Structure 1
């Protein structure tokens, strides 16, 4: 039997152990020192020790040593993930470890609208200060308009590669499903015509009709006479900001479809999926002409006489608006 003194020592030891365990667990599950919600970046390849020191330095946890010790006991088998994470105010060490070993990485987005030319895609990537490194100017028509998620610190070139891979996948998917007897004979020609369709109408319902009209012109050897092809060599696809000059209409180059028959040398913007689909499935129409109708859309005509009447209506609308 234990003596009364021995029992007392055991009781004291039990109390001390209980207190120590409480402190140990309290340090793990108790509120942390971070006063406000914030973010924390885990670098690629960072060790537990390095992350713990960065967490302490940023005021997320009170002790790097305590975090490492407890993490090895309570977080066995949980790998730290690289990326940027949201850390709530007063997060416990247990919460912090759960966050930085999860897949809840903060994702940000860069958006390429339909019809954005490559020069503006390049400028948008360069202006995104949470991306890193330089980026090459993408070839016109190589980027699929969409919203692309990225992580803070990711390279601009990596995001651009995803944009271009998305376009390659889209063309590879849509080209085999194209309608028969198209005027465009290659995916590259389809992208070029789609880029013109993209710039010529802002109404989704008109895309197939515009594609049908330009397909008819190409088949008949007529000039496309698409105004955006005049602007492209001047601004690289950015808005002109003024009326087109007569000298620009008459300019001879690889893009101006007022002085050349056939398609431009390359796309004049990055067309969206819907415009590509419109070119691969154009409307069954005899239309050869179109002019603005005053509603944001176009009036289409099969003959020059009908077209001239539509043009007269458009000029009347402009006069009524005080634009002429």
Structure 2
């Protein structure tokens, strides 16, 4: 009887041991094996979220099979690092282990508002309004106050807060650039530098020409010549949006504080948001005596020191346009 009892006890022990092994295998497989999501899912983890609340969010999204099991296995097999708030994209079949690492690593969805160089502020506002995930109203920012760049944000950020960061970036860049300005430039304040840089930005087809275009406008300012920049004529009409037609003669003659055909000197304010390269070009223009430039048919310009040279270049440009059927 004693031997029989020992055999029964040994049998139960073996069964219990096998059960523990199977349970351990299932636990490890459930932690490191493929997750249930068949497609990419998005989960938003709020500020102050606990492991338990995050697990429930993951279960609701279909990223884990069971919030309870995820939380239990995380305590046994996962690290104790803090879960970070934010919006996460969970790939298909991502394991529970890797899901926890994702949330602890803070690799949130990257959302961007892109402001190209030379964008007017009305179009900056358009981009902010269209940006999925931003909230709240926003006014058109002051022209020239935004530094063109790509700005990351998270779902729920306000549009006003993103504008503030854009403007802080411009203030910071301009302060550093102004401190390094070349002596004897044609502008005397950072504000004037932004105004001229906005014109250079809109008039430059090739990045390599920025400093030369800036030199031409600097030379004209010193001599008291009108800048005669087409974008300054267009700006009061569209606030920087494309005109979509040729400029009218009456518009070239209009005195409105911006039109540099009708008035000498800089416009009353910027006509766009200039990028870093155009700001740098104004603060360190090329060495040139040129007073004129006209398109050369390749996307760039040909420059001239004298009106006679310029008129000859204009004739060549008109001939190119005639050949293209544009005139």
Q: Does 1:301 align with 2:291?
A: no
The residue aligned with 1:155 is 158
Gaps of 5+ in 2: none
- Which moves more between the two structures, 235-244 or 44-53? 44-53
The residue aligned with 2:185 is 182
The partner residue of 1:126 within 120, 124, 129 is 129
The partner residue of 2:25 within 22, 27, 33 is 22
The residue aligned with 1:102 is 105
The residue aligned with 2:232 is 229
Q: 2:147·2:169 contact (CA, 8 Å) conserved in 1?
A: yes
- CA distance in 2 between counterparts of 1:29 and 1:289 reads 69
Local SS of the residue matching 2:105: coil
Q: Does 1:239 align with 2:222?
A: no
Local SS of the residue matching 2:144: coil
CA shift, 1:34, in A, is 1.3
Local SS of the residue matching 1:299: strand
Local SS of the residue matching 2:255: coil
The residue aligned with 1:45 is 48
The residue aligned with 2:283 is 280
**1:155-182 CA distance string (max 9 Å, x none):** 3333323322222222122111111011
TM alignment of 1:126-275, pairs within 5 A? 126-275=129-278
Report the RMSD for the aligned CA atoms in angstroms. Answer: 2.1
Gaps of 5+ in 1: none
Q: Does 1:80 align with 2:83?
A: yes
- Which moves more between the two structures, 158-167 or 15-24? 15-24
**1:266-318 CA distance string (max 9 Å, x none):** 11001111111111111222222222222222222222222222222222332
The residue aligned with 1:55 is 58
**TM-score, normalising length from structure 1?**
0.92
- CA distance in 2 between counterparts of 1:145 and 1:299 reads 27
- Which moves more between the two structures, 285-294 or 186-195? 285-294
- CA distance in 2 between counterparts of 1:189 and 1:72 reads 60
CA shift, 1:9, in A, is 4.2
CA 59–209 in structure 1, closer or farther in 2 if over 3 Å, else same: same
Q: 2:197·2:274 contact (CA, 8 Å) conserved in 1?
A: yes
- CA distance in 1 between counterparts of 2:236 and 2:223 reads 26
CA shift, 1:71, in A, is 1.9
The residue aligned with 2:325 is 322
- Which moves more between the two structures, 298-307 or 253-262? 298-307
**1:144-163 CA distance string (max 9 Å, x none):** 22222333443333332332
Local SS of the residue matching 1:260: coil
CA shift, 1:6, in A, is 4.3
- Which moves more between the two structures, 264-273 or 135-144? 135-144
- CA distance in 1 between counterparts of 2:290 and 2:15 reads 97
Local SS of the residue matching 1:101: helix
- Which moves more between the two structures, 86-95 or 233-242? 86-95
